Each structure stands twice: as C-alpha cells, then as structure tokens.
Amino acid sequence: MVIQSASSFLIDFVSSSLPLIGVMVLVSAVEFAVPLHRRNSSGRRARINLALVAVTLGLYFVLGTALVALLVYAHSQGWGLVSLPAGWIGVLITVLVLDFATWLAHWSMHKVPFLWRLHLVHHSDVLVDVTTSFRQHPGEGLWRVLMIAGFALAIGATPAAYLAYRALSAFNAVLEHGNFRTPCWVDRWFSPIWVTPNYHKLHHSIRQTETDTNYGNLFSFFDRLFRTHSSPLRAAEVTYGIEEYENAGEFGFLKTLGIPVRHKKSRP
C-alpha cells in the first residue's frame, strides 16, 4: 500500500510538472542561442541547481495540493472576507491579490534577517539562468506559500483561480531568470506593467542598492507603487551574486542548503 501510494504521488508530481519542465527546456535552448551573459560557471553549479529545482517543485506540489484542498473546503463553507465576482473578473482580482502577497513575501525576505538568510540560497547563484528559477531553500518556499495561503483564504479565492496564478507565476519565473537577450522594446513596452527578464536580472545584482529593488513577481507596478523600482536598462552589465559567496558555484548540495545556518552578516 505504501509503495502504491508513493508511486501514485510520483506519477502525479511528474505529470503536473511536465509543462513547466518543457518550458525550462525550451528556455534553456534559447539561452544557448542568444545568451545574455557568457557561461563561466561549472557544471557542478548546474547539477546542484537542478537538484534544488527538484526539491522546490516537490515542496510546491505537496503544499499546493494541501492548499487547494483547503480552498475547496473554505469555498464550501463560505469563508472569506469578501465576495469575489464570478468568471474571469474574479480570477483577475485573485491573480492581482496573490501577486501582491508574493511581492510582500519577497520584500520581507530582504528586510527580515532570518528570512534573508533563507533567501541567500537563491541570491548566491553566480549566474542567473533557467536553473536559478527554483534554486530556493525549502524554508523560502514554505514562507511564500504561507503568505499566498493567507491572502487566498482571506479573499475566498477559488481553487481554479489559485491554480491559474501558480501556473502564471511558475512560467514567468522561468522566463525572468532565463539567460537570454531580449530586444529593448520588450522592456520599453512591457516592464512598466509586467516583470520582464531584464527587469528581474537587476534584482540579482551584487550591488545591494539594486538587489533591494524590483521585487515584482508578475506585475511590476507594485514596485512603482512602493518606490522599489529600478530601470532594467543596465541588466546586461549586472554582476550577479553575493560578495561573501563569490565561490557559491562550487558549493555542494548540503553546503548550499546550509548557507542560512553559516551566514553571520545581518545584511537587511
């Protein structure tokens, strides 16, 4: 029975991840065709990142499944502080609210020392590419889901609207971390509203003044609203990473996960 349950879980996890994995493979191909930065990191870094991707996606699958079940129950009980309209308008409102929740979770990880140490696993990457998308400490993933869950339950979000947001968020995470060049018009036309690849690249800068900007996940106007916006025009010149972890590309799996424990400097 245990083996059967484990096999069923694995099948569900892999099948639900296939579209995202397909997008990651496609973006990886674009990276090799038109790279933004030359790859000067080791194959070890890529292997560790992919291991962290597997852990992060597995965690999101488990927590996301639990949250969907909770939202189904909450919806049947009429929980929620507001009554969302039916149809696409309700979905749009849910996406906007949950994206603000994600912005707030991200902002807090740059302001609260304990959360910043968890977030370091993501920011310590020496190159930003498709494998960076889900290079996260499990504690960061848990914090993000908890923030989203709180807002989703508060507004009475439907499971379908939540899943729509999670899908958009995951696919854009892959695109915004992709190490490929984009035309200037993409940023000129879309970055005032949407988080473009160059917009997010600036957030991975080794300069704290740039790292502490552009927290947006899908919508960039939250950064403009809270004055944490920086122009994406310098993206091609950015040096990535954290000064204390310039050799993070050579870290093993456990050493990478152990960064929050070993880190002493209270950067925020």
The count of domains in the chain is: 1
pLDDT value for 3: 58
Q: Is residue 268 part of a domain?
A: no
Structure tokens at 214: 């552009």
Q: Is residue 267 part of a domain?
A: no
Residues in the chain, pLDDT under 70: 1-14, 41-42, 264-268
The boundaries of the domain holding residue 115 are: 2-262
pLDDT value for 2: 47
Alpha helices (runs of H) in 156-239, residue ranges in sequence order: 159-177, 184-190, 197-203, 208-211, 221-225
pLDDT value for 1: 55
Q: Is residue 252 part of a domain?
A: yes
Q: Is residue 98 part of a domain?
A: yes
pLDDT value for 192: 94
The model's pLDDT over 100-148, given as tens digits with 9 standing for 90+, comes to 999 999 999 999 999 999 999 999 999 999 999 999 999 999 999 999 9
Q: What does pTM read for this prediction?
A: 0.92
Contact 256, 136 (CB under 8 A): no
Phi then psi dihedrals of residue 225, to 5 deg: -65, -40
